[in-house]
Amino acid sequence: MTTHSRAGGFAETAVQKTALVVGIVFLLVGILGFIPGITTNYEQLQFASHGSGALLMGVFQVSILHNIVHLLFGVLGVTLARSFNGARNYLIWGGVVYLALWLYGLLVPHDSMANFVPVNHADNWLHLVLGVGMLALGIILGRRNDTRAAVAD
């Protein structure tokens, strides 16, 4: 079993498959954030403001910027899943980013202008779970089993 993919190939390793799935989920979340009904209070959707009253699935506060970030994060995951190192780095650094967003959500008052993303309590807990999960998956699944693959990738 190899731990890398052919140049331009589909995800072949566990870390690549995981990064691909995570990327696809982020793409779906970004799209769903623009669909009225799935996003409640859609008429209150703002570009970037703590005042955006739109809630994805009636729970997670979103804005146009928030949805665009999800879409870009998804494209990045799907793209980086094409290589072992790219997939591992996507999961690890994506986890770090989401842990930073969790801290941001804890430190910034939700009704302040600094909360431009915007985030609410549900977002904070989701960011913690995503951060820990992505980081752990990147580290655990990103271990090399085949030293020849390290040279080939």
pTM value is 0.84
Reported as a single tens digit per residue, the pLDDT across 62-82 is: 999 999 999 999 999 999 999
Largest CA distance in the chain: 55
Q: Which residues have a Cβ under 8 Å from the Cβ of 107 and sit 6 or more positions away?
A: none
pLDDT digits (tens, 9 = 90+) for 7-53: 455 669 999 999 999 999 999 999 999 999 999 999 998 898 788 88
Contact 117, 104 (CB under 8 A): yes
CA dihedral 92, 94, 97, 102 (to 10 degrees): -100
Locate the domains of the chain by residue range. 14-152
Closest by alpha carbon to 142, among 16, 25, 7, 55?
A: 16
